[in-house]
């Protein structure tokens, strides 16, 4: 809907509260989320990137060891896929529930994500 405001706060989630004043609204004490890297051979946790809320977003990794994802708090971010260090994040004005995608035009790589009702595209450094 055109002109619809994004108010931030704690985004609406998929669980219903039994408190009538908080119907379908997540609170911080309801849990947190994380992106976790596991060793596929041993199952050992290599690193964890803590988030302020649970996430429904997908994850994209690139050959250059970048990991892209987002969350319900309204940010899209890039992590170092080897260490989990936050390299960059951008506010996108809505919940990130999709998987990022990457594409190239004329040899330049881009990454895109949908958040709320918007599509964002970012060029990667060459």
DSSP, collapsed to helix, strand or coil, labels residue 21 as helix
pLDDT in tens, 18-29: 455 544 455 666
Structural domain of residue 100, as residue ranges? 20-123
DSSP-derived pairing of the beta strands 75-80 and 86-91: antiparallel
101: burial class by Cβ within 10 Å (0-12, 13-18, 19+)?
middle
CA distance 111 to 102: 4
Cβ-contact 37, 84 below 8 angstroms: yes
Q: List beta partners, residue 89.
A: 77
Q: Is residue 8 included in any domain, yes or no?
A: no
CA distance 26 to 95: 13
For residue 110, what is the domain's CATH number?
A: 2.40.128.630
How many domains does the structure of the chain reveal?
1
- Please name which of 8, 99, 86 lies closest in space to residue 53, comparing C-alpha atoms: 8
pLDDT in tens, 42-91: 999 999 999 888 788 999 999 999 999 998 889 999 999 999 999 999 99
């Amino acid at each position: 809907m055109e002109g619809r405001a994004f108010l931030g706060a704690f985004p609406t989630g998929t669980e219903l509260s039994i408190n009538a004043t908080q119907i379908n609204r997540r609170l911080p004490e309801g849990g947190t989320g994380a992106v976790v890297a596991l060793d596929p051979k041993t199952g050992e946790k290599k690193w964890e990137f803590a988030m302020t809320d649970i996430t429904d977003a997908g994850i994209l990794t690139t050959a250059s060891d970048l990991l892209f994802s987002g969350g319900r708090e309204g940010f899209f971010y890039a992590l170092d896929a080897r260490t989990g260090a936050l390299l960059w994040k951008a506010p996108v004005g809505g919940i990130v529930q999709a998987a990022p995608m990457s594409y190239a035009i004329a040899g330049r790589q881009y990454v895109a994500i949908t958040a709320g009702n918007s599509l964002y595209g970012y060029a990667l450094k060459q």
